[in-house]
Amino acid sequence: MSDKDKVYIFDTTMRDGEQSPGASMSVEEKIQISRVFDDMGIDIIEAGFPITSPGDFEAVTAISKGLKNSIPCGLARAKKKDIDACYESLKFAKRFRIHTFISTSPVHMKHKLNMSDEQVIEAVKESVTYAKKFTDDVEWSCEDGTRTTLDFMCKTIELAINCGATTINIPDTVGYSIPEEFAKTITHIKNNVPNIDKAIISAHCHNDLGLAVANALAGLSAGVRQIECTINGIGERAGNAALEEIVMAIKTRNDLMPYDTGIKTELISKASKMVSNATGFPVQFNKAIVGKNAFAHESGIHQDGMLKNRETYEIMSPESVGVKKTSLVMGKHSGRHAFKDKLNDLGYTDVTDDVIQEAFGKFKVLADKKKQIYDEDIIALVDDSLIVDNKINAINLKSLKVFAGTGEPQRAEMTLDVFGEIKETSQTGDGPVDAIFKCIKELYEHDVKLSLYQVHAVTEGTDAQATVSVKIEENDRTTVGQSADTDTLVASAKAYLNALNKMLIKREKKSLSENIEHQRVKEGV
């Protein structure tokens, strides 16, 4: 394919995606996700909004140090301190992008910015010129673009390009546009901005009317060559255009959309699961491409057709997005070597020996308990070991006994290692999970809100492992914990502890950054 047909994929899962109410990812999770994005061939990764929090700053720094192929990017308002924070966090990468934006619609300028047309124009000039001092790769966005008057939009775009912007992003910030209209806006820009050939036009569409993907694709036919999107379509309110839908639509209907995204689509399913696990946001069963049912054929007529020829009811293969048929893997006699090879096949190429050792130990225990072990079981074990490998566990489960059933109130007996001290308790509860969580609260006093408790069977059957996700909230902080085990109650206890351990780290970091801030104020910096 020629260069002209390339469509750049700009992922904003870790910036706009994380702005979904309740979605938050730890720095470690973001690093792991960014590695998969890098392998997938995502062109630009918007890793965060560095000025907004020490966590975002740290994540952008760590990600920009680790990427091999993708270009890291940070978001900045039209303010020098935002652009400085972007530069400071991105400077370790050999190439990086600064993405700066300001609202251009009448409603935003009047009520949000309280700025006149002239002031906004001045801010565009200053911010893009300033960002350009740090990098050649500057993206400029006219926030609320689709509710901006076309004349004013064209004027600001021309100015941004003159000041050095090489990508011009048109956001449908409130998800208000419809495909025909969005395409017309792009055509208008192409016909009325004299220097538009010096920049790539980008689409950033929100999904408030369920039209984000349709709008972004309509933009392509009018000249858009970068699409901003998120895995699983997460993002502010109803979310952003879903990366997997954009990429698979272009791939499947390449007859009508002859473009190349360069994305290794076989990694889509893995990326979707990682983002869902990290955010605690389940993927709806019938979600296009990555939903549990996206490739399931239920009715007899469909199944019959599929058996005769897959093309009867399948427009793309599950394998093309990395959905493998549940495959039976090794048994209890398999050795460490075979286990390591299996991990490689499953895409775990850079896990440490400690993690392999830990996961292999768990595999042996599982093989004794469970008749059949599947790829998904192995994935759950390794992911569980990766959580342990983060070495963040100050509180660990030593033992758990649960008494459940009819009649008696459910009771849990628990032993925890709390910062090296062994503590025991027994509590009753409204159900076994409630009793378990009460034990943890008794042994380590804390006050958090439980905002999500979710159990997901890794494979079929009553002996399947369960992956449990727990989300807890404290003031403005949220953490998600996970664990997998054939015993759902053990997984529940470990998932809660994982979330709690992460919260302790967040607290520590907050107080550290407060101390630094305090010190700065004292020193007058």
Site of interaction with Zn ion (CB under 5 A):
16
Whose Cβ is closer to ligand KIV: residue 237's or residue 310's?
A: 237
Euclidean distance between CA atoms 315 and 292, whole angstroms: 17
Q: Minimum CB separation from ligand KIV for residue 16, in Å?
A: 5
Residue 26 or 148: which CB sits closer to ligand KIV? 148
155 binds, among Zn ion, ligand KIV, none (CB under 5 to 8 A by kind): none
Per partner kind, with CB cut-offs from 5 to 8 A, the member of Zn ion, ligand KIV, none near residue 502 is none
C-alpha triplet 143, 96, 36: angle, nearest 5°: 95
32 vs 103, beta carbon nearer ligand KIV: 103
Nearest-Å Rg of the Cα atoms of the chain is 25
Q: Smallest Cα–Cα separation from 108: which of 139, 75, 78?
A: 78
Using the minimum distance from each CB to Zn ion, give the nearer residue, 233 or 429. 233
**In the complex with ligand KIV, which residue's Cβ is closer, 141 or 492?**
141
Q: How far apart are CA 87 and CA 135, in angstroms?
A: 9
- Contacted entry of ligand KIV, Zn ion, none for residue 358, CB cut-off 5 to 8 Å set by kind: none
Within 266-365, strands assigned E span: none
Question: Taking CB within 5 to 8 Å according to partner kind, which of Zn ion, ligand KIV, none is near residue 141?
Answer: ligand KIV
Helix (H, G, I), strand (E, B) or coil at 267: helix
- For residue 142, the minimal CB distance to ligand KIV (Å) is 9
CA distance 428 to 408: 9
Residue 42 sits at φ, ψ, to 5 deg, of -65, 130
By a kind-dependent CB cut-off of 5 to 8 A, residue 82 interacts, out of ligand KIV, Zn ion, none, with none
Name which of Zn ion, ligand KIV, none residue 101 binds, using a CB cut-off of 5 to 8 Å depending on partner kind: ligand KIV
- What strands lie across the sheet with 410-418, from one edge to the other? 395-403, 410-418, 421-429
Distance of alpha carbon 12 from alpha carbon 224, whole angstroms: 17
Rounded to a whole number of angstroms, the minimum distance from the CB of residue 172 to ligand KIV is 8
Q: In the bound complex, what is the minimum distance in angstroms from residue 24's beta carbon to ligand KIV? A: 17
Helix, strand counts (H, E) of the chain: 16, 14
CB of 355 to ligand KIV, least distance (A): 36
Structure tokens at 388: 């342990």
- Binding positions for ligand KIV, rule: CB under 6 A: 16, 101, 141, 143, 169, 171, 173, 204, 206
CB of 49 to ligand KIV, least distance (A): 8
Whichever of 74 and 481 has its CB closer to Zn ion, that residue is 74
140 vs 339, beta carbon nearer ligand KIV: 140
Task: Pick one of Zn ion, ligand KIV, none as the site partner of residue 132 (Cβ within 5 to 8 A by kind).
Answer: none
Q: Where are the beta strands (DSSP E) in 195-270?
A: 200-205, 226-229
Q: Which does 265 bind (CB under 5 to 8 A by kind): Zn ion, ligand KIV, none?
A: none
Buried-state track 313-345, b at ≥16 Cβ within 10 A, e below 16: eeeeebeebbbeeeeebeeeebeeeebeebbee
Question: Which of residues 171 and 233 has its CB atom nearest to ligand KIV in the complex?
Answer: 171
Q: Alpha-carbon distance 44 to 47, whole Å? A: 9
- CB of residue 47 vs ligand KIV: minimum separation in angstroms? 14
Name which of 477, 497, 473, 474 is nearest 485 in CA terms: 497
The least CB distance from residue 52 to ligand KIV, in Å, is: 12
